[in-house]
Amino acid sequence: MNSENNTEDENYILCFGRIDVHMKGLDTLIEAFEKIAPSFPVHTLKIAGRGSEKDIQWLENRMNDSPAKNKIQFSQNVTQSQKLVLFKKATCLCMPSRFEGWCISAIEAGACSKATIGTRIMGLMDSIKDAETGILVPPQNADALAETMKLLLTDKPLRKKLGENGYRWAQNFTWERVTALQENFYRGIAENTFRILPNKL
């Protein structure tokens, strides 16, 4: 993904990744969105990804029971081109996980000049630079998540700054740089001189 200085914004918060209700904090996500939905009549929440039948059924039931159900959308089996459009047109990305590995979605959002809201957990603290490329909140805290959603939806200059920083941060993860890092790692192991290449941001 590559979309420096992207200005497209169709007024939605995006959550993209595996549909795992507990691990990805989708229960917290919907609860937080319900708190802000009345104050943001034009904004919606879009959730996209694949998951088990059990998790998808939970998600669909929870959406149908939500007072904001008309403002929450779910998409399965998204193609690569559809995924790119989702990221490019989002207002911001939101990943309120309880547990996470390396969150590639946060890097993909940065590549599209989009800020990310995440939780202060291992994995997300590596892929999101707090207050630089996104904002981290405590996990399982719908109130804190809702307040941060409000902040990013209302503060366009902040979103722009975080998105621009996110774009620069994402450039550290091009195939060329990843290959150089991997080569540097193996050479360092062989020569006992391993060193970290500097970040661009």
Residue 169 lies in a domain: yes
What is the pTM assigned to this prediction? 0.86
The full DSSP string for the chain is ---TT-----SEEEEES-B-HHHHTHHHHHHHHHHHGGG-TT-EEEEE--B-HHHHHHHHHHHHHSTTGGGEEEE-S--HHHHHHHHHH-SEEEE--SS-S--HHHHHHHHTT--EEEESSTTHHHHS-BTTTEEEE-TT-HHHHHHHHHHHHH-HHHHHHHHHHHHHHHGGGSHHHHHHHHHHHHHHHHHT---PPPP--
Query: CATH number of the domain that 146 lies in?
Result: 3.40.50.2000
Residue 61 lies in a domain: yes
- Domain hosting 149: range is 12-173
Residue 21 lies in a domain: yes
Residue 87 is predicted with a pLDDT of: 98
What's the structural domain count of the chain? Answer: 1
CB 97 within 8 A of CB 124: yes
Residue 195 lies in a domain: no
Can you list the residues of the chain whose pLDDT is less than 50? Answer: 3-4
Residue 18 is predicted with a pLDDT of: 96
Residue 184 lies in a domain: no
Residue 31 lies in a domain: yes
